[in-house]
Structure 1
Amino acid sequence: IGNTVLHILVLQPNKTFACHMYSLILSYDRNKEGPGSLELIPNNEGLTPFKLAGVEGNTVMFQYLMQKRKHNLWSFGPLTTVLYDLTEIDSWAEDQSFLELIVSTKKREARQILDLTPVKELVSLKWNMYGRPYFCFLALFYILYMVCFTMCCVYRPLKPRTSNKTSSRDNTIYVQKMLQESYMTYEDELRLVGELITVIGAVVILVLEIPDILRVGAAKYFGQTILGGPFHIIVITYACMILVTMVMRLTSTTGEVVPMSFALVLGWCNVMYFARGFQMLGPFTIMIQKMIFGDLMRFCWLMAVVILGFASAFYIIFQTENPENLGQFYNYPMSLFTTFELFLTIIDGPANYDVDLPFMYSVVYFAFAIIATLLMLNLLIAMMGDTHWRVAHERDELWRAQVVATTVMLERKLPRCLWPRSGICGREYGLGDRWYLRVEDRVDPNKHKLMRYTEAFKAQDRDNYDKGLEKLEINRDVLYKKERSALSLSRSTSRTSSHRGWEILRRNT
């Protein structure tokens, strides 16, 4: 693993002892501020002790290290201005961002660091100044882009069908135009402009997504819901469908409606990704992802088995019947689709009161209604309700993690001229080339007074109690005297401690 002794201390369960040992070891380090400092040595995963504390969710060690990095500028009464060193925290110049490591880890304790100083203030500064405006603009631009693509699909080149029908069930009246016939009029030229915008957008999506996949890894990039993993799958598939549609249009291949339909569904579903910019809607996108890729995926295996079995039974029962009177099960694919509709209660059971239904149909349909409607659908509702309950308890943490992930994503992809570095350069205060974040801390004086009063009462109680224990050990031979001394001790303790505590209250007021 390549961990140093400082990495091992970060992983220790006794966090207070680990902090003391950390300070002791660094006191013997000769290169405390130089590049050869023991604190800056990474392990084989590229994590320094500071980053490892964030990934492991060790909030005690993280706060201890931040206390060592802060510099007090000035203090006046309850106000204190502090400079926090942003080395290894700010993602502006980091290949392996500390913030990205926190939101990508699976440990819930790590997300608690996002609510600590100065990480909370840094993320809030970046999101409010640059992240939110750019993200809202990107959402608006994507919606306009999808409207353009939808209009191109609605007005795609079609012509009336001239060939004869080959089946009585054939209902096609329009067919796709050839490439030479598709761009003849002024309306076709306007559609061509929209199609070029759509194709260029698909290429840009692939150019932006592929480098991140290679940098992070496919499993981590697509598997983390907070990083928007499922939405990355959706948008990449959408871009591929657009390119497939373009190839089919250029080669005059029939059937372009298939990739075009997939692209429309995927493209508009990806609009939900931009809900993460709003605190009210952001956690619900994670809830939907967990339901689809957790509850629904497990449920689909059970549903497929039930539908396959009952669809086969329905098809065999209606094999000897006239399909003109009961056409819902006239072939096996149609039987599967009809059973799926029955499973979701989209349609009622097929019935024609002018003819007699097979007896076995009633028996099988009764069993199907009990298993599918009463049992399995209620099971799905219960599973989704449990997921909703679990996500609802973490909604604030999840939304903060989404904001951090979105901020880091925009910071990586936008040019430096559009996203200046946050914080203050240390040269202004004689602290070198490092960057710092200035945080104003207000100390509540009433809170500190209350703590002083509490400690005053507790300290005197503790001293008198220790003296009482010594007296009890001397008079151990007589039980009666022991109880009497304990009783008198408690009265004198409360009387003395109360007297001292009230003296402090009168002196401070």
Structure 2
Amino acid sequence: APEMYRECCWMVEKRGSVGETVFHICYLVNTTTHTFLGRRLLKWFPKLINDVYLSEEYYGENVLHMSVVGEDPTMVKYLLEQGVNIHERCSGAFFTPDDQKSSRTDNKNWENADVCIKTTYPGYVAWGEYPLTFAAVLSQEECYRLILAKGANHDLVDENGNSVTHIMVINNNMKMFDMAVECGSSINKLNKQQLTPLTLAAFLARQEMFFHIASIDREVYWQIGNVCCSAYPIEELDSINPTTGELNTQSGLNLIVFGRLVEHIDLIEGVVVDLLQVKWKSFIKKIFFRQLVIFTFYFIISTFCFVNRPLAPLPSNMTGNTATLSSLSTTPSAFYNSTESSIFDEMGITTTRDENLTTETMAMTTTTALPTTKLKSTKKIIIRRDKTDKPCFLHTYDTNLQKARGLAEIILVIWALMYLLSCVREATFVPFKIFIENMQLCPSRVFFLIACLLIQFCVPLRFLCWYQSEDVLAIIAMLFTGFYFLFFCRGFKLTGPFVIMIYRMLASDLLRFGTIYFIFVMGFSQAFYIIFQSYDSSSSHPMPSPIESIIAIFLMSLGSFGTIWNSLISTDHTLLGKFHCFVFIAIVVVLLVNLLIAMMGDTYTKIAEIKNEWMRQWARTVLIVERGISSKERLRNQNIYSERMSTGKKAI
């Protein structure tokens, strides 16, 4: 096909190292002599005017690009008169955004290289490929108008789908943006990331450009001095699609609120705050506080259930509820709780049992030590155990408190299941990517959902009376449930910044500190374990195993090193052990712990200095709550808080 070929005047094999011709060199040097030589060459070889650089680095650059960069309107006019290609695309790697250069791949079906769509458009010469956009970026108004008058299309797009208005937003050139719009360039065209110039300004946190573009589309009703009443169309601004009610992740509001740059916070003002406030007042506030109240009652019920769980029974190899010890050489403590079964084993007890009474006859001739007295003759110990027909103590609901606990446990299981089902329901009408993003933004909610899931696992364990396994799940569930309060705290000015501080410290400071801390703890713990292998005291061993040594060193780092220090005397390496202890205190306790405190203090200062951080957390809470309702409900609420412009578009 003809479009698969390019006409070249100068022989390809006779070009320079980057695919240039002598004609390009004349305009590159750009002296009077070289300019004259270039014109002479063009007179005899007119097709040279459309030859381009052929190397990968500068592919597509022609003399019109070079004249625009040289800021020479006279030469631009001359080249236009000679018939230069005004739509030549300069798509070499040198003119590609920096974060796309590594993704460049050739394609046999078209001339320009393919690049990854995801980009933030960094780079000093990512100027939009066309001579017209080059002139706009460099603020060459005269060159821009000359090229435009020759028939250039200012709505042509580069490899990223950006038109001249997109390029002006990327380069933050408001003056040339206005001129391009004045000349007829579109401000509603989508690029390959589905961004218009307005949403691109939100994506890149271009504050002045964002509000300037928003003001172009607005409809002014009245103005008195600096006070203005106007309507802003919400098609590109609102996070709700005005037609379907689906979530618009590429909307200006969504990009601003969930943007990662500090500059995005500066965009949360004016029309953006107005939009958030009407959302909050119309339906988000009601849903938010309803969820808070519901969860508070859920937390109270779960606390009641777990706090009033009955104690576990004594193991089967221990004696029962009451014990009566008779004829002992006496102290007031002649009655013992019969949990010391090992005493009877050492005494050589033989047992005879009837239906309601267990009698252990003790035959012994030696003096045996008991906890508070001594046995000096053969005695009889009578132990009375209450018999029960109930198979599991957790299935006992005799008292009013137990009955209330049983009812609360049923409610808790059903309630937790409803939370899980609501999460599944949310995942059905929200795109999976947004659902995962919600979970990442609300780690406290993830913990809470895990707690709800663990409560469901407790049900079969209760029927099987595996109370020890159920206790483990109940402990984790109760711990994870309380974290969900952090989500609701984000929506208030008093607590919102502190919640984000906790998240940042856990994600960055503690992670970095924990890595270094783990290295020192593992090294010192094994060193101390070897030192204490020669421990010869009859008292309890401070480090009986490698795992116990790790725990002991962890406690030492918290300041509890008195026991370890005193126990070193009973080892064969007292001096070496004390030296290790001194080094550990100096490095870990003094240096690393204080370093962690300094890191956390720095994080606290940075977040506290951000003026509207709480506003961003509140805005995120608003949009997260909004994502949890159906599209039909979102569209209905949008119709309530929006107005209609004269064109019929929804506005705020």
The normalised TM-score by structure 2 is: 0.57
Q: Post-superposition shift, 1:184?
A: 3.8
Q: 1:19 touches 1:64 (CA, 8 Å); kept in 2?
A: no
- Residue 70 of structure 1 aligns with which residue? 218
Q: Post-superposition shift, 1:296?
A: 0.3
- Residue 256 of structure 2 aligns with which residue? 102
The structure carrying a bigger helix percent of its residues is 1
Q: Post-superposition shift, 1:118?
A: 1.1
- Residue 181 of structure 2 aligns with which residue? 23
Change (3 A) 1:46 1:259: farther
* Counterparts of residues 61-140 of structure 1 (less than 5 Å): 61-76=209-224, 79-92=227-240, 93-97=245-249, 98=251, 99-115=253-269, 117-140=270-293
Where 2:490 maps in the other structure, the secondary structure is: helix
- Residue 451 of structure 2 aligns with which residue? 238
Where 2:223 maps in the other structure, the secondary structure is: strand
Aligned-partner residue type, residue 122 of structure 1: L
Q: 2:161 touches 2:191 (CA, 8 Å); kept in 1?
A: yes
- Residue 54 of structure 1 aligns with which residue? 202
Q: Which has the larger displacement, 178-187 or 314-323? A: 178-187
Which residue among 473, 479, 482 is the counterpart of 1:268? Answer: 482
- Residue 623 of structure 2 aligns with which residue? 408
Q: Post-superposition shift, 1:128?
A: 4.4
Which residue among 139, 142, 147 is the counterpart of 2:300? Answer: 147
Change (3 A) 1:275 1:286: same
* Counterparts of residues 182-331 of structure 1 (less than 5 Å): 182-185=395-398, 186-209=400-423, 211=426, 215-216=432-433, 220-223=437-440, 227-228=441-442, 230-253=443-466, 254-322=468-536, 324-331=538-545
Q: 2:532 touches 2:571 (CA, 8 Å); kept in 1?
A: no
Q: Distance in 1 between matches of 2:569 and 2:223?
A: 92
Q: Post-superposition shift, 1:149?
A: 0.8
Aligned-partner residue type, residue 112 of structure 1: D
Q: 2:447 touches 2:484 (CA, 8 Å); kept in 1?
A: yes
CA RMSD, Structure 1 to Structure 2 (Å): 3.3
Aligned-partner residue type, residue 292 of structure 2: A
How many residues were matched structurally?
A: 412
Q: 1:205 touches 1:239 (CA, 8 Å); kept in 2?
A: yes
Q: 2:458 touches 2:474 (CA, 8 Å); kept in 1?
A: yes
Aligned-partner residue type, residue 458 of structure 2: T
Aligned-partner residue type, residue 271 of structure 1: F
Change (3 A) 1:200 1:103: farther
Q: 2:205 touches 2:263 (CA, 8 Å); kept in 1?
A: yes
Q: 1:100 touches 1:404 (CA, 8 Å); kept in 2?
A: no
Q: Distance in 1 between matches of 2:604 and 2:568?
A: 47
CA displacement, residues 415-447 of structure 1 (integer Å, 9 cap, x when unaligned)? 639956454432xx6x1432222xxxxxxxxxx
Asked if 1:425 corresponds to 2:643, the answer is yes
Aligned-partner residue type, residue 389 of structure 1: T
Change (3 A) 1:73 1:354: closer
CA displacement, residues 481-500 of structure 1 (integer Å, 9 cap, x when unaligned)? xxxxxxxxxxxxxxxxxxxx
Change (3 A) 1:162 1:219: closer
Q: Post-superposition shift, 1:363?
A: 2.2
Change (3 A) 1:353 1:215: closer
Q: Post-superposition shift, 1:388?
A: 1.2
Q: Post-superposition shift, 1:140?
A: 3.0
- Residue 562 of structure 2 aligns with which residue? 348
Q: Which has the larger displacement, 292-301 or 309-318? A: 309-318
- Residue 333 of structure 1 aligns with which residue? 547
Q: Distance in 1 between matches of 2:296 and 2:484?
A: 10
The normalised TM-score by structure 1 is: 0.71
Aligned-partner residue type, residue 16 of structure 1: M
Q: Distance in 2 between matches of 1:44 and 1:196?
A: 52
Change (3 A) 1:12 1:354: closer
Change (3 A) 1:101 1:77: closer
Q: Post-superposition shift, 1:297?
A: 1.0
Larger radius of gyration: 2
Q: 1:6 touches 1:39 (CA, 8 Å); kept in 2?
A: no
Q: Post-superposition shift, 1:347?
A: 5.6
Where 2:552 maps in the other structure, the secondary structure is: helix
CA displacement, residues 4-30 of structure 1 (integer Å, 9 cap, x when unaligned)? 4156325431422442254146x26xx
Aligned-partner residue type, residue 81 of structure 1: C
Where 2:231 maps in the other structure, the secondary structure is: strand
Which residue among 576, 583, 602 is the counterpart of 1:367? Answer: 583
Aligned-partner residue type, residue 402 of structure 1: Q
Where 1:150 maps in the other structure, the secondary structure is: helix
Q: Post-superposition shift, 1:209?
A: 4.0
Change (3 A) 1:297 1:323: farther
Q: Distance in 2 between matches of 1:261 and 1:371?
A: 35
Q: Give the fraction of aligned pairs with identical amino acids, expressed as a percent.
A: 25
Q: Distance in 1 between matches of 2:506 and 2:418?
A: 28
Q: Post-superposition shift, 1:374?
A: 1.1
Aligned-partner residue type, residue 283 of structure 1: P
Q: Post-superposition shift, 1:218?
A: 7.1
Change (3 A) 1:248 1:425: same
Q: Distance in 1 between matches of 2:459 and 2:168?
A: 54
Where 2:416 maps in the other structure, the secondary structure is: helix
Q: Distance in 2 between matches of 1:124 and 1:196?
A: 39
CA displacement, residues 144-202 of structure 1 (integer Å, 9 cap, x when unaligned)? 2112112211222444214226x9999xxxxxx96685254354443233223333343
Change (3 A) 1:140 1:330: same
- Residue 170 of structure 2 aligns with which residue? 12
Q: 1:222 touches 1:233 (CA, 8 Å); kept in 2?
A: yes
* Counterparts of residues 483-498 of structure 1 (less than 5 Å): none
- Residue 386 of structure 1 aligns with which residue? 602
Where 1:160 maps in the other structure, the secondary structure is: coil
Where 1:279 maps in the other structure, the secondary structure is: coil
Change (3 A) 1:163 1:316: farther
Q: Structure 1: which 5+ residue stretches go unaligned?
A: 29-37, 171-176, 438-509
Q: Distance in 1 between matches of 2:423 and 2:165?
A: 33
Where 1:388 maps in the other structure, the secondary structure is: helix
Task: Kindly indicate whether structure 1 or structure 2 has the higher relative contact order, using CA contacts under 8 Å at least 6 residues apart.
Answer: 1
Aligned-partner residue type, residue 490 of structure 2: R
CA displacement, residues 105-135 of structure 1 (integer Å, 9 cap, x when unaligned)? 22222332212x2112221233345434542
Change (3 A) 1:344 1:422: farther
Q: 2:439 touches 2:445 (CA, 8 Å); kept in 1?
A: yes
Where 2:514 maps in the other structure, the secondary structure is: helix
Q: 2:542 touches 2:567 (CA, 8 Å); kept in 1?
A: no
Where 2:483 maps in the other structure, the secondary structure is: helix
Q: Which has the larger displacement, 249-258 or 307-316? A: 249-258
CA displacement, residues 274-298 of structure 1 (integer Å, 9 cap, x when unaligned)? 1112112101111111111101011
Q: Post-superposition shift, 1:73?
A: 1.5
Change (3 A) 1:365 1:64: same
Q: 2:169 touches 2:197 (CA, 8 Å); kept in 1?
A: no
Q: Distance in 2 between matches of 1:195 and 1:138?
A: 21
Change (3 A) 1:14 1:300: closer
